[in-house]
Amino acid sequence: RLAVETSRPRLGPLSRRTMLAACRPAVAVEALRVVLPAAAATARCVVGVGGAASVQGRGPPPASRPPPSMEGRGAPKERPLCMSNRETRKLVVRGREVPVDESFWTKVADEQSVKDAGLYKNNCENYVGTIKYPIGVIGPLRVNGEHSNKDYVIPMATHEGALLASYDRGAKAITQAGGVTTRIKGRSMPRAPVFVFRNIVEANDFARFAESAETQHTVSELVNTAIDFCKVTHYRVFQTDRKVHVSIGVDTYDAAGQHTALYAGDIVMQYMQENYHSKIPEMYIEGGFNSGKRISTIHSLLGKGHSVVADCVIPYEVVTRVLRTTPYKVQRFQKMHNRTNEFIGGISCTAHVANGLAAFFIATGNDPACVAESQAAVTHFDVEWAGEEKDVTKCNLYASITLNSLIVAAIGGGMSLPAFKAARSMMGATSANEIAEVCAAVALAGELSFYSAMESGEFSHAHWSMTHKG
C-alpha cells in the first residue's frame, strides 16, 4: 500500500515506476537526484503490509487512482476469491472443470475453508481451500536468551513419525540441565543488484565508484531515509569479470525483510543510474549473488536474516538417563559425523537441522522455503570436564549450534493468518529476535537427540516402533 505525504524530508517510493505514479514527474526526478545527507524530497511513500492502511496507519491511495504498478496496464482481471464452488460442487480452472473426489469437498474445500477465502487473498492466488496438517508440541524447553527467558511449549507441524518424540527428548535433556543459552550476533537481509558492462575495465571503474566512501555513505543514508522500519547493516561490492554486484543488507526488525531488501536494492539501482558518470549498459535487481532460498557459503559465513548461537552443558547423569549414552561417546560420534560431512563437501555441518526448522516454520507461519538457507549451520559437541581429573566417566557434555542465516519473522507474510497466530500463541513469543532464539534452541535439541540415538544404536528401533503402532 502507498500513502503519499507532502512536506516530509524523506525520499519517496522505491521504484521509478512507483515514484512517478505517486507524485509529480518533476518532483520524482528531483528526488532521485538528491545528494544526501541533505535529502530534500517533497514526497514520501510509506510501504505497509497486511491491510488497507499503511504501517503508520494512513489510508490507502485515493480510489480514483489505480495502484501504481497497474497504471497503463488496464484493470486487473477479476478472479473469484475461491475457485471451488461448493454450491455446484465444481472446481473450474481456466474454464476447465477439474475432476475431484467427493472427499475434496470435506477435506480441502470444506465449508469453513471456502467461507474464509478472503483471509488468504494476499497470500495465495487461485485459492481452492485448505489442508489440515498434523501439529504437535515439544517442551517445555528452557531458553536463557537476551530476548527469550522462560520455558517454552513449542508447536511443530510434521507427518514424519518419531520426529517430535526425538526433539522432545532433546528439549527434556536441555531443560533438566538448566536450559540453553542463546545470543543473536547480527540481523541483516541482503539484496545484490548486478551491473553489467562491456568489459572488465568499465566494470572495474564502476566498482571503484560504487565502493567509494562517498557512495557508500550516500546510498546508506538514502535507504535509511526512504524506507520505514529499515536500517542499512552492510554495503559490499563484488566484481566478477565484467559484472559488479552491489550487496546491500538491511535490518527490518520484526519482519523477515525480503521485500524491504528488494526496495533497498531498487534504490541502489536508481542512485547508480543517476549519479555514475557513464551510462550503465545493463542492470538487474538480482544477479544470483543474493542466493535467495538456496544454501550458499557466503551467507553461511557472513550471515543472512538472524545470525544466532546457542549452547548448553548437559550433566553426565542427564546424558546417561535421558539421552541413554555418555558425554564422551556422543561427542566422539558427533565429531566423526561432522568430519565426514566436511569430507564430502557439505556446507551444513549438522545432523538434521532442516527437520526441526521445517516443522517449526510450518506451524508458526514462517516461510518453509527459507529452510533451504536457514539450515546452513554448524553443530559442535565436546566434553566438559567436571574437575582437574579428566575422567570420561565423570565429564559433562558441551553442545552448541551456530545458525548464521536463520530467516524468521514475527510480522508479515503468513504470520498474520489465524491458524499460525493461534499456534504461536502457545509460545508467547512476540518478536523476531525471540522467535530466532527459540528456533536455535529447538535446533540444538534435535541435534542432541539425533546424535545420541545414532551413537547408542536406538535410531532404527525408535523409528520402527513409533511409526508402526498398528
Supply the residues annotated as catalytic.
Answer: 160, 293, 367, 463
Phi and psi torsions of 364, nearest 5°: -105, -5
Beta strands at 2-6 and 43-47: parallel, antiparallel or unpaired: antiparallel
Beta strands at 135-145 and 180-191: parallel, antiparallel or unpaired: parallel
Give which of 382, 365, 315 is closest to 175, Cα–Cα.
Answer: 315
Phi and psi torsions of 97, nearest 5°: -75, 130
Q: Would you state the torsion angle of the CA atoms of residues 416, 419, 424, 428, taken in this order, to the nearest 10 degrees?
A: 80
**CA distances in angstroms from 278 to 240, 241, 374, listed in the order given:** 19, 18, 39
- Whether the ω angle into residue 315 lies within 30 degrees of 0, i.e. cis, is no
- Partnered with residue 243 across adjacent β-strands are 196, 240
- Partnered with residue 156 across adjacent β-strands are 136
The Cα 178–Cα 175 span in angstroms is 5
Element (H, E) at 258: helix 258-275
- Using the 8-state DSSP alphabet, how is residue 255 labeled? B
- Whether the ω angle into residue 37 lies within 30 degrees of 0, i.e. cis, is yes
**CB neighbours of residue 218 within 10 Å:** 18
Phi and psi torsions of 450, nearest 5°: -60, -55
Element (H, E) at 459: helix 459-467
CB-based contacts of 333, cutoff 8 Å, min separation 6: 451, 454, 455
The Cα 93–Cα 148 span in angstroms is 46
The Cα 117–Cα 167 span in angstroms is 34
The Cα 393–Cα 325 span in angstroms is 11
Helices (H), 148-290: 163-176, 200-210, 213-226, 258-275
Looking up cell 537427540 gives 449
**CA distances in angstroms from 435 to 52, 244, 367, listed in the order given:** 27, 35, 13
Q: Are 406 and 115 in contact (CB under 8 A)?
A: no
